[in-house]
Structure 1
Amino acid sequence: MKTNIYKKLVRQYYEELWNKKSKAMIEELFTDDIEFHGSLNIDTKGKKEFENYMDAILKGIPNLHHGIEILLEENATIAVRAIYNGTHSGKLFDYEASNNRIKYNGASFFKFRDEKISNIWVLGDLATLHKQIASPKNSQ
Structure 2
Amino acid sequence: MSELSDIYTGYIACLNSQDWPSLGHYVGEDACHNGRRIGLAGYRSMLEGNYRDIPDLKFNIEILVADPPVVASRLLFDCTPLAMFMDLPINGRRITFTENVFYEFQDGKIANVWSVIDKSAIEAQL
TM-score w.r.t. the length of structure 2 is: 0.85
1:5 is aligned to 3
1:98 is aligned to 91
Per-residue CA deviation, residues 40-90 of structure 1 (Å, 9 max, x unaligned), is: xxx452011111211221121111111111111224211111101211125
May I ask how many residue pairs the two structures share in their alignment? Answer: 126
2:100 is aligned to 107
The residue type paired with residue 69 of structure 1 is E
Gap regions ≥5 residues in structure 1: 136-140
2:29 is aligned to 32
Q: Distance in 2 between matches of 1:97 and 1:126?
A: 12
CA pair 50-131 structure 1, distance change in 2 beyond 3 A: farther
Does the 8 Å contact 1:83/1:105 carry over to 2? Answer: yes
Per-residue CA deviation, residues 15-59 of structure 1 (Å, 9 max, x unaligned), is: 222x11111222111111011129xxxx45201111121122112
CA pair 22-75 structure 1, distance change in 2 beyond 3 A: closer
Does the 8 Å contact 1:69/1:83 carry over to 2? Answer: yes
Check if 1:61 corresponds to 2:59.
no
The residue type paired with residue 29 of structure 1 is Y
1:23 is aligned to 20
Check if 1:79 corresponds to 2:76.
no
TM-score w.r.t. the length of structure 1 is: 0.77
